[in-house]
């Protein structure tokens, strides 16, 4: 069902992810009627995008997709699983199959899918093989599928780019495995978006698979040296044959912002050359590609200016399973009174994390983050997307914003490795008696060890959380 302006009605999945969130903004700017499918709609409502319909659903549960595809002409499939867990391939396949079934039943005319480059005859990594299998599942629906296969995406906020940036920035000397000699064809994120949008008006692309990439084929070593040169640094590299994908991923987990469960599938995929062999799309969609050095300079500039449009941390890659425990929830409650206006206190609350710190005992927070990294967790290096701005779904070091009500409350859910599930919530109330900061740390043990963990750390937690709340109030009072 086309809109009044003649545009097809679009369903967009992955709209809170790295590529999807950028695509959403550009489709809205072009007046396409859009429906977004989201597991957590709150992660999209902050955008206040006119004319965008947001529906709740999960492609892993077919029953939640009822009515989602109604009146949809074209559906974007931008969902992927990169958790490093043993079942990610099954999740990828089930998600694609459910999506394809619901789309076919509703009469969707086209599916547009962004997958991964790689020659199927060259023993693909599990991740790249899964990405191509997803394309096959979508095509088996009988709906014409246009599949774009891309290599590394260069742009501010890209996980692959942040790995290269962190390695170059922090290590003047690198001991590297053989995969740094693998070839790839990096592409700027703006060029990927250009392709995804222009597919809508190019019927010749219907039902076909296309390779997309930039104009240069580079090894990973060449990319790192080029990024170092743009940084104004000199990079020394020594190749060794003994670094396995697991060891490489563990090293990246310690040095870069990307945690182990994301680093491993990325590293495993680097053993494959990912270069374009099918250039047919150049005859259908032609435009001047962004040179690699320009894409890197642009990404670094965006980071310096703190104008990152989207980041890999915003996707649901690290969403925890539902809480299930026989243990009751445990609490640490702090309530601090102040004569300062509620909005001033809350402004201080929403700046916690990242380079801003946690108001008290930052060394202890960093130590906890280091320990988390050592055991394969996310640690503190994810930081914040923005030093002040907050939205649902953001990461704050090893926490994720589960709920955010501007000027009133913020609820964080822990994503560090824990024997249970933890939250940290801030609520600012104001009445005739003044303003109160209510700070609540809560924890549901998953087993007896989790119960012991909570009470063993209770004195330290009380001391840290109590003083953190006091420092938040003090900072607000000093900024009158």
Predicted pLDDT at 49 = 75
pLDDT digits (tens, 9 = 90+) for 50-98: 789 999 999 999 999 999 999 999 999 999 866 545 577 888 999 999 9
Q: Answer yes or no: is pLDDT of 35 > 80.
A: yes
* Average of per-residue pLDDT across 447-467: 93
Share of the chain above pLDDT 70, in %: 91
For residue range 153-188, list pLDDT tens digits in order: 999 988 888 888 888 887 777 777 677 788 999 999
What confidence tens digit (pLDDT) does each residue in 370-391 have? 999 888 788 888 888 888 999 8
Position with higher pLDDT, 114 vs 44: 114
Instruction: State the pTM of this model.
Output: 0.82
Domains of the chain: 1-149 (3.40.50.720), 151-188+212-309 (3.90.25.10), 324-478 (3.30.530.20)
CB-count exposure of residue 170 (10 Å: 0-12, 13-18, 19+): exposed
Rounded Cα gap, residues 39 and 13, in angstroms: 10
Burial (CB count <10 Å: 0-12, 13-18, 19+), residue 97:
middle
Q: What is the pLDDT of residue 319?
A: 45
Contact 116, 274 (CB under 8 A): yes
CA distance 15 to 278: 28
Rounded mean pLDDT, 395-414 = 93
Residue with tokens 């590609």: 289
pLDDT tens across 199-238, in order?
999 999 999 999 999 999 999 889 988 998 998 888 887 7
292-304 helix and 220-231 helix, angle to the nearest 10 degrees: 50
Average pLDDT, the chain: 87
Give residue 357's pLDDT band: very low, low, confident or very high (50, 70, 90). Answer: very high
Q: What's the average model confidence in pLDDT over 278-294?
A: 94
Q: Helix/strand/coil (H, E, C) string of the chain? A: CCCCCCCCCEEEECCCCHHHHHHHHHHHHCCCCEEEEECCCHHHHCCCCCCEEEEECCCCCHHHHCCCCCCCCEEEECCCCCCCCCCHHHHHHHHHHHHHHHHHHHCCCEEEEEEECCCCCCCCCHHHHHHHHHHHHHHCCCCCEEEEEECCEECCCCHHHHHHHHHHHHCCEEEECHHHHCEECCEEHHHHHHHHHHHHHCHHHCCCEEEECCCCCEEHHHHHHHHHHHHCCCCEEEECCCCCHHHHHHHHHHHCCCCHHHHHHHHHHCCCCECCCCCHHHHCCCCCCCCHHHHHHHHHHHHHCCCCCCCHHHCHHHCCCCCCCCCCCEEEEEEEEECCCHHHHHHHHCCCCHHHCCCCCHHHHHHHHHHHHHCCCCCCCCCCCCCCCCCCCCEECCEEEEEEECCCEEEEEECCCCCEEEEEEEEEEEECCEEEEEEEEEEEECCHHHHHHHHHHHHHHHHHHHHHHHHHHHHHHHCC
Residue 331, pLDDT > 90, answer yes
Q: How far apart are CA 77 and CA 69, in angstroms?
A: 12
Provide the CB-side half-sphere exposure for 132 (13 A, CA).
Answer: 20
Which pLDDT does position 480 carry in this prediction? 61
């Amino acid at each position: 069902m086309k809109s009044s302006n003649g545009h097809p009605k679009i369903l967009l999945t992955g709209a809170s992810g790295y590529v999807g969130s950028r695509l959403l903004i550009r489709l809205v700017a072009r007046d396409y009627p859009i429906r977004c499918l989201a597991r957590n709609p709150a992660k999209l409502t902050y955008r206040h995008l006119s004319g965008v319909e947001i529906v709740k659903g999960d492609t892993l549960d077919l029953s939640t997709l009822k009515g989602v595809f109604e009146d949809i002409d074209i559906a974007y499939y931008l969902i992927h699983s990169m958790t490093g867990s043993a079942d990610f391939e099954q999740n990828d396949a089930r998600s694609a199959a459910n999506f394809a079934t619901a789309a076919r039943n509703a009469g969707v005319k086209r599916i547009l899918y962004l997958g991964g480059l790689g020659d199927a005859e060259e023993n693909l990594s599990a991740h790249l093989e899964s990405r191509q299998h997803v394309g096959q599942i979508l095509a088996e629906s009988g709906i014409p599928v246009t599949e774009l296969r891309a290599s590394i995406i260069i742009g501010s906020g890209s996980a692959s780019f942040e790995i290269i940036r962190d390695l170059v920035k922090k290590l003047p000397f690198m001991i590297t495995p053989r995969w740094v000699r693998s070839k790839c064809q990096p592409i700027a994120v703006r060029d990927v978006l250009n392709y995804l949008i222009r597919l809508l008006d190019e019927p010749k692309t219907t039902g076909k698979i296309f390779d997309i990439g930039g104009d240069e084929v580079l090894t990973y070593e060449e990319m790192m040296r080029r990024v170092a040169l743009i940084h104004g640094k000199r990079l020394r590299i020594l190749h060794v044959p003994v670094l396995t994908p697991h060891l490489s991923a563990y090293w990246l987990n310690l040095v870069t912002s990307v945690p182990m469960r994301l680093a491993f599938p990325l590293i495993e995929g680097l053993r494959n050359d990912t270069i374009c062999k099918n250039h047919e799309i150049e005859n259908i969609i032609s435009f001047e590609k962004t040179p690699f050095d320009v894409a890197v300079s642009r990404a670094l500039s965006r980071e310096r200016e703190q104008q990152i449009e989207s980041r890999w941390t915003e996707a649901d890659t690290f969403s925890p399973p539902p809480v299930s425990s026989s243990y009751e929830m445990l609490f640490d409650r702090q309530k601090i009174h102040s004569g300062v206006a509620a909005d001033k206190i809350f402004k201080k609350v929403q700046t916690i994390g990242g380079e801003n710190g946690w108001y008290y005992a930052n060394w202890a927070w960093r130590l906890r983050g280091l320990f988390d990294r050592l055991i394969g967790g996310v640690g503190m290096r994810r930081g914040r997307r923005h030093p002040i701005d907050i939205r649902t779904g953001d990461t704050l070091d090893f926490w994720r914003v589960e709920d955010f009500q501007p000027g009133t409350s913020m609820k964080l859910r822990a994503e560090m490795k824990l024997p249970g599930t933890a939250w940290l919530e801030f609520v600012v109330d104001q009445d005739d008696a003044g303003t109160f900061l209510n700070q609540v740390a809560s924890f549901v043990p998953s087993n007896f060890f989790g119960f012991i963990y909570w009470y063993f750390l209770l004195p330290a937690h009380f001391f840290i959380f109590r003083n953190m709340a006091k420092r938040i109030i003090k900072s607000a009072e000093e900024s009158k």
